[in-house]
């Protein structure tokens, strides 16, 4: 209430030359638009001018109040992507190339491709995957797997080995020097 009173006093000091103050004009804005204007509202040019300005103010504040758009996620996304890139920059595996400068791929990217390849085998879910670069454009990989209790057969591990080796060559261009598979868990499906 204290705030309202202060506002009233401030606007009351802005009395128009006709005697009415801006606060009254503001309050009567709705009345006038609804067609219940009194003689003074219609005739007084000071009141009319004040009313026009107040309408503009009301429209603008209404627009702002109705604006519920969220701040853009683009910048947040770009920052997070930059942070992830910064982490991945540290562990890089060299790839073969004929051009000067060299090509490297992050260990995390290698791991995600190899996990993806292992996942394509029925009844196998790849879990942890640790990639280490060794000499001669090759990698050593340690991967742990969860396998289906019902669907699992002994051949599945051979399939995993085959597909991971194929993915390393076809998708990345590195040689798989060593692949350690750990059967870490069973799941019921």
Partner 1 sequence: MLTIDVADTAGAVSRAECVLTEPVIAAIAVHATTTVAGVVRLEPGLAGLAGSLARSARQRIKGLDPAPTEGVRVEVDREDPAGPCVRLEIDLVTSAQDQAAAVAQAVQRAVTRAVAGATGLALASVSVSILDIDPGAGG
Contact residues for partner 1, defined by CB under 8 A: 78-79, 81-86, 88-89, 92, 95-106, 108-110, 112-113, 116, 170-174
177 and 138 Cβ atoms separated by less than 8 Å: yes
Which lies closer to partner 1 via its Cβ, residue 101 or residue 154?
101
Residue 95 CB, shortest distance to partner 1, in Å, is 4
Residue 98 CB, shortest distance to partner 1, in Å, is 7
139 and 177 Cβ atoms separated by less than 8 Å: yes
Nearest residue to 38 via CA among 51, 28, 46: 28
Residue 41 CB, shortest distance to partner 1, in Å, is 47
**Phi, psi (deg, nearest 5) at residue 73:** -85, -5
Which lies closer to partner 1 via its Cβ, residue 88 or residue 142?
88
Q: Region of 132 please: left (phi>0), alpha (psi -120 to 50) or beta.
A: beta
Residue 186 CB, shortest distance to partner 1, in Å, is 26
Q: Region of 154 please: left (phi>0), alpha (psi -120 to 50) or beta.
A: alpha
Which lies closer to partner 1 via its Cβ, residue 49 or residue 79?
79
Which lies closer to partner 1 via its Cβ, residue 17 or residue 100?
100
């Amino acid at each position: 209430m204290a705030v309202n009173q202060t506002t009233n006093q401030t606007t009351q000091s802005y009395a128009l030359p006709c005697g009415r103050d801006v606060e009254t004009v503001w309050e009567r804005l709705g009345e006038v638009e609804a067609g219940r204007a009194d003689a003074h509202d219609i005739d007084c040019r000071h009141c009319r001018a004040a009313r026009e300005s107040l309408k503009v103010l009301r429209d603008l504040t209404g627009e702002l109040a109705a604006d519920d758009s969220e701040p853009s996620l683009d910048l947040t996304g770009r920052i997070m992507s930059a942070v992830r890139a910064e982490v991945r920059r540290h562990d890089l595996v060299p790839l073969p190339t004929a051009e000067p400068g060299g090509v490297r791929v992050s260990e995390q990217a290698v791991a995600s491709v190899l996990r993806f390849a292992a996942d394509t085998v029925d009844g196998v879910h790849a879990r942890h995957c640790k990639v280490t670069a060794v000499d001669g454009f090759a990698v050593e990989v340690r991967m742990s797997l969860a396998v289906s209790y019902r669907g699992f057969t002994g051949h599945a591990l051979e399939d995993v080995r085959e597909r991971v080796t194929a993915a390393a060559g076809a998708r990345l261009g590195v040689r798989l020097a060593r692949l350690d598979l750990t059967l870490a868990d069973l799941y019921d499906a």
